[in-house]
Amino acid sequence: MFAVSVFVGAAAKKSKNKDKYGVYMVGVSASFTDSLVYFTDIQFLDSAVVDGKGFLVGRQQYSLQLKDYLETKEGGKNRTCFMFFNVRKNKLQKELMKLKEKYKKGNNMVLKSVNPEFKFEKAELY
């Protein structure tokens, strides 16, 4: 068995101030074997940064943090985790609402919030 992590950038623009850090992010986890879709709360991580190409630096580590949490605390196996992020909270909220509406269509998916105890931690850069 293996898991796939997917990363989705929310058209985040790099700050004009190169020393400015901080990104709003939300994790989403789905599986091809069940109808549960998990959503984290929107979290602000002041240590996160978007690179010059609009990618979240360390995005794979953030996705793995959510995957590991769901496997150990929720018993979720074979989950695919998506990271959505933006430097503007309101833009991320709008994108998240659209995504939830897509999952709700058809009434065949169950949306579930990840326990608020889960918090993304600073990605270790190599």
Q: Is 122 contained in some domain?
A: no
Q: Is 92 contained in some domain?
A: yes
Q: Is 123 contained in some domain?
A: no
**Residue 94: domain span:** 5-13+20-113
Q: Is 43 contained in some domain?
A: yes
Bridge partners for 43 per DSSP = 25
Predicted local confidence at residue 24, as pLDDT:
96
Which parts of the chain have pLDDT scores under 70? 1-20, 125-126
Which residue, chain included where needed, has tokens 């700050």? 15
Task: Specify whether the backbone of 60 is left (phi greater than 0), alpha (psi in -120 to 50) or beta.
Answer: alpha
Predicted local confidence at residue 11, as pLDDT:
44
Q: What is the tally of structural domains in the chain?
A: 1
Predicted local confidence at residue 109, as pLDDT:
86
Q: Is 70 contained in some domain?
A: yes
Predicted local confidence at residue 126, as pLDDT:
57
Which residue, chain included where needed, has tokens 């953030």? 62
Q: Is 67 contained in some domain?
A: yes
Q: Is 60 contained in some domain?
A: yes
DSSP 7-43: E----PPPPSSTT---EEEEEEEE-SSSSEEEEPPPE
Predicted local confidence at residue 1, as pLDDT:
37
